[in-house]
Amino acid sequence: MNNYPYIIASLPDLALDFEKHDFDYGFIRENIFFSLSEEDRRLVEWLESGFVDGNLNEDFYRSCSRCGNRFIREYFAFDCLLRSEKVAYLERRESGLDFEEKESLHKAFVMPDIFRREQAISTIVWNKIEDLVILELFNINVILAFLAKFNIISRWNRLDRNTGRKLFDDFVQEIDETYNKNKIDFNI
């Protein structure tokens, strides 16, 4: 049923330029979703469940680490590292984690302009997504990477400077509350 070359060829080109775009995530996602097998649809749903902050807990990351799909495993392993590093930074402590993007993240964290900081973090995530599928052409991982990148663009389409500042402040507060309430260990 999967015709990856056809699906991938029909996808719009995405660029992380932090401008408003007329892309409709829901419309494009539905076209992709109904062209996939049931197994691939489950992977799309799994990926999208990770776009909901309330779903991102130790159990979610643990289940991702056991997923049979490489993109899901590696994308959410990176997401977990990024979030753990954010928590450690906000608590002014060392995370003890070692990963390639750590130095770039810390450069982003210290940017005084919250909007630019979030742009830098989005760029790091975008580049990681591209790295995860750099040698892949026509498979579900390319489609999952597209949807992950599309999610970043959709997020920026909803933001302006004031909204971005409020969302970031809310995110910081949510991380702090979650950490203090549950003492979640993001190191899986």
Question: Residue 163: what pLDDT?
Answer: 65
**Are 72 and 43 spatial neighbours (Cβ–Cβ below 8 Å)?**
yes
In sequence order, which ranges of the chain are alpha helices (DSSP H)?
Answer: 4-9, 25-33, 38-49, 58-65, 70-90, 102-109, 114-132, 140-157, 161-182
Least confident piece of the model among 69-83, 110-124, 148-162: 148-162
Residue 165, pLDDT score:
64
Q: List pLDDT tens digits, range 94-110.
A: 999 999 999 999 999 99
Statement: residue 153 has pLDDT above 70 = yes
Burial state string for 119-154 with b = 16 or more CB within 10 A and e = fewer than 16: bbbbebbbebbeebbeeeeebbbbbbbbbbbbbbbb
pTM of the entire predicted model: 0.84
> pLDDT confidence of 171, banded at 50, 70, 90?
low
Tokens representing 128 are 């990681």
So what's the pLDDT on residue 159?
A: 73
> Which pLDDT value is given to residue 187?
55
Per the CB < 8 A criterion, the answer to whether 115 and 161 are in contact is yes
In the predicted model, is pLDDT for residue 144 greater than 90? yes
- Maximum distance among all Cα pairs of the chain, rounded to whole angstroms: 50
Could you count the other beta carbons within 10 Å of the beta carbon of residue 64? Answer: 23
Average pLDDT over residues 145-172: 79
Q: How far apart are CA 95 and CA 75, in angstroms?
A: 19
